[in-house]
Every structure is written in structure tokens, then in C-alpha cells.
Structure 1
Amino acid sequence: MTFDDLVEIYRHTQFGADGEGALTIASQAILDHLGAIDADPRLYDDVQIGLLDDAPPVLGAKVRIAVGHPRHSLGLLVRDFDALFQAPRAAFEEPSRYYVVDPGYASGDLPAPATLARYRALLDVVAILRDAASYVDEVQRELVFIGAEKTVVPIAFRAADLGTDLEENVARLKRVFHDPLHGDEKREILATAVVQLVGGLRQSVRFPHLVRNLDAVCDEVDKGYRLFVSSFSYSKIRDDVETARIEFVGKIHKTIVDIQGQLLGIPVATIVVASQMKSATGCGLPFWTNTAVLLGAWIFVALLAIAIVNQWHTLTVLDTEIRRQQQRITDDYALVSGEFADQFEDLIGRIWWHRAALGAVGGVAGLSALLATVAYLMLTARGSGACIALWN
């Protein structure tokens, strides 16, 4: 006989309080099973169903039977859900085959009673709690948390402890632990919340109190994890921003370093122009010297202008990238973005000053070349321009 055969018998039995029941023989299968049990003592030992009436059973009759617990490997026969919850390993997983006399429910029946749905949700909580516990004693049905002191939480509960909001709170808790990211930290936060909630209670009431106040546990886990993530993200963002700031500062300063050779050439060129230009009255050596010096000055200014324009474009690219990074921090981490505003403003200010410096250098170089041109015109006599007319 299978457990399904026993369930068919249980469904047609009115159970009494003393292990007896009144069975209605509603089918030939039930009648055949009774005959097989009566004829085979070993089968009786397995199913623990015996006839109490002397008259032979007949189809459609109601007979008195003694009903005991079947062999455990067949399935469980329990009076109510409270008894089911006390079954071996029922604290960690739902038994595979069982029949609950009140309300007449067999495993696999649809729809499942609300109590059973809450019990299944509770098993999800137990699975999460056992991962958060320091260790689990499955024989004693205990969760053990070890922190500043040892906290034991026996897994003992009744159907009355499974509130109507249990499934909703279980869903909240599962959402937190669904993502494996920071799993160890989440379990530590949960363990701390459990110990704080039940640590001061008697062991016998700890788990029911935990189940009834699961919403408070969810709140603590949510707040603790948000605090952890905020701290983690802030530290990471701060390191990233500081690294980017150092990199940007280096690139900004490099715009001056790259042309500092040309910048050092400005005073040298000024001295050369001032010392080499002589008064020229014809097409002699002074004229050609002055012309060469002026041409060199303008070539120097042209090369310097090219370098300044190139570095100006580099600063423009850096300014765009800095503002993009600032906007990304503002969009992704609005709560902490204000903490880094000064660093971005400092970088933008540095770019402004470097642009001003490049503009000033370009202006000084252009003015120097213009003054050199004026000096050239003043030192060169009128009509000397004909000296460069190669066709003369």
C-alpha cells in the first residue's frame, strides 16, 4: 500500500479523540485495502489501521477502526498543523507526504490552506536565518548566534504565530538576500538584528517573537544594509574622485610644462632683438641683421602661438571631461555629490588660470614681436625695403 491509499482511507474517516474513527467504505479499493490489512500482520504494522467491529466489512457500510501513525517512510498522519510543524525536520523543510486531519488536507492538495502558505514562507526565513547563524543544531532544532555572548533560538512555533503579514515580510527579506553581493555583510546585519530582538527573552518564546516581529527585523536589515552600502559607496567614490583629481591636475599642469621651453625663449628672444638690431642706412650688414632678427622673432611667435593653441584645446578637452565626471557623480550619487563639489570647482578654477596664463604669454609674445617690428622700422632708413627686391 502507498500513502495515497492511506489518504483515501483517511478522507472517509471521522476521527475521534482517542485514536478511533468511523470509516465509510465508499469504494471497492477501500474494502480491498481493509481485507489486505486484516490478512497481513506486516502490512498492519506499516499502516496501523485495524478493524474494531467483529462483522466483516461490506461496501457502503460504516465501520469502527483504530488509526495509528503509519511507518514514517510512508508518510505522516497528524491531527492539525501544529502537530505537522513539530514533525522531524519540519522546522527546515516541508515533509514530502502527510495528511492533516483538521482540516482534512493531504500534501499536494490544491488550493493550499493559508496556514500552509505561511508555513512555506516561514521555511524561507529559516533558510536565510540558518545561513546567518553561527551554527545550526538540526536535532535540537536550534539556531545559535555567537557574538558578545551565545544566543540560542529554538525553532518552535504554532500556526497561531504565523501572522497574515508573514508572507509580505518574507518577500521583503528575500529581496535583500536575493542579490549575492555583500552576502557576508548582509548575514552579519541579520544576525545582529535577531540577537537584539530576542536576546533578552526566554528561549521558548524567542522564535515566535521573531516571527511576529519579522517586519522589525526587515526594517533593521534594510537600514543596516543601506548604511553599509552608503559607507562603502562613499569610500569608493571618494577614492575614485581623488584619483581622478590627481590625474587631472597632472594633465592641467602638463599644458604649461610642455611649452615651458618656448616660454623660457621669450626673454632670450627679447634680449637678442634688443641687442642685435642696429641702425641701418643702406643694404649693408646691419640691414640684413635687423631683418634676420625680426624674421626670427615672428617665426618664434608663430611657433609659440601654435603651441599655445594646441594646449588651449587640451585644456578645453580636460574642462569638458571634468564637467562630465561632475555630472555623472551628481546623477549617480546625488546624496553625496555635494561632498565633492569643491574638488571639481578647484579643477575648473585651475583650468581657468592656466588659460589666462597661456593668453598672457601669447599676448606678451605678440606685443614683443610688434615692438620688434616697430624698432626695425625705426632703425631702418626709408627706401631700404628695396634691398630685398631680388630682381633689382
Structure 2
Amino acid sequence: MTFDDLVEIYRHTRFGADGEGTLTIASQPILDSIREIDADPRLYDDVQIGLLDDAPPALGAEVRIAVGHPRHSLGLLVRDFDALFQAPMAAFEEPARYYVVDPGYASGDLPVPATLARYRALLDVVAILRNAASYVDEVQRELVFIGDEKTVVPIAFRAADLVPGLEANAARLKRVFDGALHGDEKTEILATAVVRLVGSLRQSVRFSHLVRNLDAVCDEVEKGYRLFVSSFSYSKIRDDVETARIEFVGKIHRTIVDIQGQLLGIPVATIVVASQLKSATGCGLPFWTNTAVLLGAWIFIALLAIAIVNQWHTLTVLDTEIRRQQQRLADDYALVSGEFADQFDDLIGRIWWHRLALGGVGGVAGLGALLATIAYLMLTARGSGACFLFWS
């Protein structure tokens, strides 16, 4: 048996105050349902509807029945909207299937009562408040805000608290939070407004006071967000990105400028080595001159290699920082971040070319040192290694 079958029974029942009612068997489906329930104890346990009269039910007759709460998975039977709002999880989402005795409304019926329409608007507000709260206790139905102090807001309300302006104010609040831009800042502003409004009240009335004064919360959030946005503009972001780009370009260029002296020394050292190496046939002055020149060349190469490695690491740090700034821009200003993608790509491209240049410089210097070593070995007679032993 489905909850729709139960709703048909509820609609034709005059409910009393003691869990009893009078059912008018107005149709064959109702009669079939009553007979089925009366014949199956397990079904009775699920639907909690029982006949109180001894006479068998008949079409068109009125019978007294006992009506209880059906199994929760079937649906909810509540006396009024206040009881509906106290149902499990009803503070966060509308129950899927329910029947409200007063005013005789079942979920899905049209037109929607004004109280239910305001309740649905309130659920939109609760969803926004959940994101602003530090944490949410669904079992206790509490929103907890932690700032200078811990502020607990129990989600307790009645139909009388759902004032006529609730739907319009809920729509105002939703408009502020539409879109992902500045989401963290918006929720922080909302949390501050809520704590300021209800923090001094006793817990039991905080949420109802918040609902009744939702227009004041909307005003506070809108004003706070306008104040925040006043410091945010496209031109300001563009200027900040351009300033950062110029700074990064300078740092990237310095990776070459800082070792420019060593780079200029490469051709000088090559010329010196080429002009100073002479043919050496023994352990005389030419041999020691050639050895000193070659040793100087390799010392220069070692110092240059240290400088290149150091600048390579500098470029790695700059690359990481540029990508971090790019991601931060995408997170904070997602709507306009694409406008500046080319500038970040240009910086990353510059780093790639500077790395290529550093690698080329290191390769040329190493090749020069290798050629100098080959020239040294060619100009030095075989067996000259004994000169080092003799010298020592």
C-alpha cells in the first residue's frame, strides 16, 4: 500500500482529538484499502489505521477508525504545519510525502498554501545560513557560529513566525549569494550579521527573531558586500596584475643580468686559452703555463656552473610563485581571470626561454673547456705527467 492510498483515506476522515476519526467510505478503492488493512496485521503495523466498529465496512457507510502515525518511510501524518516543521530533517528540507490534517493538504497538492510557500522560502534561507555557519548539528537542529564567542542558533520556528515578507527577503538574500564570486567574503558578512542580530537573545527565540527580522539581515549583508566590492574593480585587478607582471619580468631578467659578468668571460677565456697555450715538450715554462691556463679555465667553468644552477633554482621559485598567483586570481576573481591568462602564460614562456638560455650557456662553456683540455693534451708531449711527480 502506498502513501497515496492512505491520503485518500485521510481526505475522507473527520479527525477527532484523541486519535480517532470518522471515515466516509466514498469509493471502492477506499473500501478495498480498509478491508486489506483489517485483514493483514502486518499492514496495520505499517499504516496504523484500524476499524473500531464491529460491523463490516460497506461502500457509502461511515465507520469509526483509529488513526496513528504510519511507518516513516511511507510518509508523515501531522495535525498541522507546526507539527510538520518539527519532523526529522524538516528544518533543512521539505519531507517527501506528508498529509496535514489542518488544512487537509497533501504534498504535491495545488494550490500551495501561503504557509507552505513561506516555509519553502525559509528552507532557501537555511541553506545559505548552513554555508555561513562554522558547523551544523543536524540532529539537534542547530547552527553554530564561532567568532569572538560561540553563538548557537537552534532552528526552532512555528507557522506564526513565517511572516508575509519572508519570500521577498529570501529572494533578496539568494540574489546576493548567486554566483561563486566572493563566496567566502559573503558568508563571513552574513555570519557577522546573524551574530550581531541574535547573539544577545536567549537561544530559544534566536531563530524566530532572525526570521521575523530577515529584512534587517538582508540590509546588513547588502551594505557589507557593497562596502567590500567598493574596493574591487576590473581596473584595480588589471593594475595589480600588471604591477605583478612587471615585478616578475624584472626578477626573471635578473637571472641573466646577475651572471652577465661570467657570461662575458666565456669569449674572453676562450681567446686567452687559445692564445696562451703553446707547444710544450718537457717540464719547462710552457708546460706549467699551459697547465695554469687550463686550470684557470676549469675554475671559471666551475664558478659559472654554480651561478647557473643558482639562477635555475631562482627561475623554479619564480615559476611556482607565478602559477600560485594565477590560481589565486582564478579562485578570487573567476569571472575575469580569463582576461589575464595571456600575461601569466607570457611570464611562464619567458622563464622557459631563460632556462633554455642558461642551459645553452652552460653547454657552450663546457664545450669550450673540453676543447681547451683537448688542445692542452695535443700541445703537451707524452709522458709530461711525470712533471707533476718531479715537481712534488
- Please confirm whether the aligned pair reaches a TM-score higher than 0.5, indicating the same fold: yes
1:1-392 equivalent positions in 2, closer than 5 A: 1-233=1-233, 236=236, 239=239
Q: Which amino acid aligns with 1:203?
A: Q
Offset from partner CA, 1:244-272 (integer Å, 9 cap, x none): 9x9xxxxxxxxxxxxxxxxxxxxxxxxxx
Distance in 2 of aligned mates of 1:240 and 1:131: 30
Q: How many Å separate the matches in 2 of 1:213 and 1:96?
A: 29
Residue 232 of structure 1 aligns with an amino acid whose one-letter code is: F
Distance 1:241 1:143, change over 3 A: closer
Query: SS state of the match for residue 151, structure 2?
Result: strand
How far does residue 76 in structure 1 lie from its aligned partner after superposition?
0.1
Which residue identity does 2:40 align to in structure 1? D
Find the aligned partners of 2:218 and 2:6 in 1 and give their Cα distance.
42
Distance 1:234 1:178, change over 3 A: closer
User: C-alpha displacement at 1:89, in angstroms?
Assistant: 0.2
Q: CA deviation at 1:231?
A: 2.1
Shift of 1:58: 0.7
Give the Cα separation in 2 of the matches to 1:232 and 1:225: 11
**TM-score by structure 2 length?**
0.61
Whichever of the two has the greater Rg, that structure is 1
C-alpha change, 1:55 and 1:189, in structure 2 (3 Å) is: same
Please report the TM-score for the alignment, with normalisation by the length of structure 1: 0.61
Paired AA for residue 72 in structure 1: H
Identity %: 89
**Gap regions ≥5 residues in structure 2:** 247-392
Look up the SS of the partner of 1:231 in the other structure. Answer: coil
CA distance in 1: counterparts of 2:184 and 2:112, whole angstroms: 35
Cα distance in structure 2, aligned partners of 1:197 and 1:159: 21
Gaps of 5+ in 1: 247-392
Shift of 1:169: 0.3
* Change beyond 3 A, Cα 1:98–1:242: closer
Between the aligned partners of 1:125 and 1:237, the Cα distance in structure 2 is 32
Residues in 2 aligned to 1:111 and 1:2: alpha-carbon distance in whole angstroms: 23
What is the alpha-carbon root mean square deviation over aligned residues? Answer: 2.0
Residues in 2 aligned to 1:51 and 1:104: alpha-carbon distance in whole angstroms: 21
Give me the whole-angstrom Cα distance separating, in 2, the residues matched to 1:83 and 1:116.
13
**One-letter identity of the residue aligned with 1:152:** V
Amino acid of the structure 2 residue aligned with 1:36: E
Structure 1, residues 164-221: CA drift from partner, whole Å, max 9, x if none?
Answer: 0000000000000012100000000000000000000000000000000000000000
1:294 is matched with none
